[in-house]
């Protein structure tokens, strides 16, 4: 059974522009660009734009995370009505606080290094051939690029969070079309995960591309930012982007650290409002509810990741990591769970409010 999405009206790129791009709901996940069979969609100033002749196939429209079906409809399909719809965290089997046992990973990682560790195991165990990663560092001005990683070294180099949007679905397409890989670990923000599940679960979904994603790791995400956060904001407070080794957002603060661990920027996320991507405000999903396993920091102590296990695939890779002693984990604390639920609800309610206004 798939979720039916077809309508009588033709939903081509111009419709996507009207419904999503013009009202600035687009989060630049890269799905429309990735599925266009004639490569007629390009990018201008961070927005998808028509650069060739549209053949009216409608694929771009139907993979977009900002149009119907809703997150809830896809959740019902994916989790076979097992519940979770009314829960701010969605359906899950278990939630842990965890960290990698590999110090090299932890040094480079955003939080507990769980994402990088799970990717390492998935590659080494040949569960997947490659993984999608966001690559950026100070030497390149922190401009993230969505890439395909086939070795642990490549995955390690991509560890850490880049808080500017990066079209991860294009890396899935690159793995599938350019590297001819049909077994990929996909890492992405909630909107990007939603797009890949649409490919898998809806009647107009790009099934082959979606099904190449054998493991879907979702990152918690309250919002993403425009690149001007790096290119304008950091210099405006006297910080050179190349001086930053790592970023994180914790307890409502955006932080940047130098390679020796010194906290060189710490500013309330609220003050960065003008740099945030407006499309994120209509997204209700903090914890990537459609992933196999979701990872973030809210709910855990510093240096640890909060890990939400949702599917059998997610459970299997997490258990493997525990068996190999590649990660250490304990159940999330009651207090941690409470704050995770609270923040998830804040994001859900914000999206409802914004939707009502539109
Ligand atoms: C834009 C953004 C917003 C986030 N907001 C929150 C939040 O509000 N609350 C919270 O608890 N956690 C948030 N996170 C998640 C958090 O920053 C960590 O990614 C997560 O805790 C995993 O940590 P880790 O140490 O296990 O990951 P690591 O082992 O460091 O691996 C991180 C992985 O994320 C990928 N990645 C990095 N940047 C991006 C990007 N821009 N787009 C797609 N993939 C990327 C990398 O390729 C890498 O594979 C956010 C992440 C991003 C990218």
Is residue 74 scored above 70 in pLDDT? yes
Ligand 1, atom 48: nearest CA belongs to which residue? Answer: 159
For ligand 1, say whether the CB of 218 is within 6 Å of any of its atoms.
no
Ligand 1, atom 34: nearest CA belongs to which residue? Answer: 161
| Nearest Cα residue to 90 out of 309, 279, 297 | 309
Is residue 103 scored above 70 in pLDDT? yes
Residue 93: CB partners within 8 Å, gap ≥ 6? 309, 310, 311, 314, 315
Structure tokens at 302: 């510093």
| Nearest Cα residue to 315 out of 299, 341, 340, 291 | 291
Of the chain, the percentage scoring pLDDT greater than 90 comes to 89
Rounded CA-CA distance 90/344 in Å is 10
Residue 45: CB partners within 8 Å, gap ≥ 6? none
For ligand 1, say whether the CB of 148 is within 6 Å of any of its atoms.
no
Please give the average per-residue pLDDT across 39-53, as a whole number.
95
- Contact indicator for 32, 63 with CB cutoff of 8 Å: yes
- Contact indicator for 310, 291 with CB cutoff of 8 Å: yes
Residue that the structure tokens 């984990």 belong to:
329
| Nearest Cα residue to 5 out of 57, 70, 54 | 70
For ligand 1, say whether the CB of 187 is within 6 Å of any of its atoms.
yes
- Contact indicator for 328, 98 with CB cutoff of 8 Å: yes
Q: What is the pLDDT of residue 354?
A: 81
**168-211: per-residue pLDDT in tens?**
999 999 999 999 999 999 999 999 999 999 999 999 999 999 99
What pTM was estimated for this model as a whole? 0.96
Ligand 1, atom 6: nearest CA belongs to which residue? Answer: 221
Q: Which of 110, 143, 168 has most ligand 1 atoms within 8 Å of its beta carbon, as the pocket-test mutant?
A: 110
Average pLDDT taken over every residue of the chain: 94
**233-258: per-residue pLDDT in tens?**
999 999 999 999 999 998 889 999 99
For ligand 1, say whether the CB of 92 is within 6 Å of any of its atoms.
no
Torsion of CA 329, 320, 119, 293, to 10 degrees: -60
Question: Which domains, ranges and CATH numbers included, belong to the chain?
Answer: 13-63 (3.30.70.20), 71-357 (no CATH)
Look at strands 94-100 and 145-149 and give their pairing.
unpaired
């Amino acid at each position: 059974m798939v979720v039916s999405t077809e309508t009588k009206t033709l939903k081509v790129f111009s419709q996507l522009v009207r419904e999503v791009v013009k009202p600035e709901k687009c989060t630049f996940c890269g799905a429309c660009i990735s599925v266009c069979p004639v490569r007629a969609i390009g990018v201008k100033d961070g927005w998808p734009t028509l650069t060739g002749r549209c053949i009216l196939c409608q694929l771009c429209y139907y993979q977009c995370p900002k149009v119907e079906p809703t997150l809830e409809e896809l959740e019902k399909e994916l989790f076979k009505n097992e519940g979770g719809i009314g829960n701010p965290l969605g359906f899950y089997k278990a939630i842990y606080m965890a960290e990698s046992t590999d110090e090299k990973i932890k040094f480079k990682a955003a939080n507990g290094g769980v994402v990088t560790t799970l990717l390492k195991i998935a590659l080494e165990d040949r569960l997947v051939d490659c993984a999608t990663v966001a690559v950026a560092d100070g030497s390149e001005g922190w401009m993230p690029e969505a890439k395909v990683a086939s070795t642990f070294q490549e995955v390690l180099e991509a560890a850490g969070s880049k808080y500017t949007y990066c079209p991860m679905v294009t890396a899935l397409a690159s793995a599938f079309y350019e590297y001819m890989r049909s077994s990929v670990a996909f890492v992405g923000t909630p909107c990007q995960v939603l797009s890949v599940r649409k490919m898998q679960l809806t009647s107009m979904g790009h099934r082959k591309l979606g099904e190449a994603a054998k493991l879907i790791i979702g990152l918690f995400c309250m919002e993403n930012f425009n690149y001007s956060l790096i290119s304008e904001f950091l210099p405006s407070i006297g910080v050179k982007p190349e001086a930053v080794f790592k970023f994180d957002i914790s307890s409502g603060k955006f932080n940047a650290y130098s390679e020796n661990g010194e906290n060189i920027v710490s500013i309330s996320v609220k003050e960065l409002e003008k740099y945030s991507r407006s499309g994120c405000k209509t997204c209700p999903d903090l914890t990537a509810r459609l992933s196999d396993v979701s990872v973030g920091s809210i709910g855990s102590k510093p240096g640890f990741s909060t890990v939400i296990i949702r599917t059998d695939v997610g459970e299997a890779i997490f258990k493997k990591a525990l068996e190999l002693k590649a990660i250490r984990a304990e159940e999330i604390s009651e207090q941690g769970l409470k704050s995770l639920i609270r923040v998830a609800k804040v994001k859900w309610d914000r999206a409802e409010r914004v939707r009502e206004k539109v």
